[in-house]
Amino acid sequence: MAIGVRHCDRCGAPSPDDEAGTPTCPTHGSRWVHVRNAPCAAVVIQDDAGQILLARRAREPYAGMWETPGGFVELGEHPEDAARREVREELGLEVTLTGLVGVYVEASAQGQHLLVLVYAGRATGEVRPDPAEVAGWAWFAPADVPAVMAADHRRRVDDLLAGTVVPLPARE
């Protein structure tokens, strides 16, 4: 499978292969390849009127495309905590998780597989996006959600709207 240009998962910089064939970020080196073999957590945020909050990616891969907020789970971090942290980092919002939309295996931009846990959530606060990650944001009525989104993000929204959300498992 042709992969094309690969990008660092930490900063989005193009990461050409080094002499050994390992993608290497000019800033973060090749270490990001190894620490990013981790699951991802994301949130489809819906308000009381049923609108969906989406962010426009500021960096590669998928720069300029709409997405649900989320990212990699850090070592030792619970996926629910990672989902809340990613929303806080990207949009400056606190989020209450209300259910699990689904567990997905998605192709990454690097041609690998990512395990993604997608939650449903309600946000509080005022959107304060991180410009390094978010180029814009908007609330969308379900009928107005963009047909084409980053990676498989449209499927996440479709599944939430189809009612696939299940209660969160109890945490110990």
Does some domain include residue 103?
yes
Average pLDDT over residues 131-135: 97
Compute φ and ψ for 13, nearest 5 degrees: -70, 145
> pLDDT tier at 2 (50, 70, 90 boundaries)?
very low
Q: Both 113 and 45 in a single domain?
A: yes
Q: What is the pLDDT of residues 43-57, one digit of tens each?
A: 999 999 999 999 999
Domain that holds residue 121: 38-161
Looking at the 3D structure of the chain, how many domains does it have? 2
Residue 31, pLDDT > 60, answer no
Q: Both 15 and 65 in a single domain?
A: no
CA angle 113, 71, 47 (to 5 degrees): 120
Q: Both 33 and 68 in a single domain?
A: no
Q: At residue 144, what is the residue type?
A: D
Does some domain include residue 172?
no
Average pLDDT, the chain: 90
In whole angstroms, what is the distance from residue 12 CA to residue 129 CA? Answer: 17
Residue 36 has a pLDDT of 55
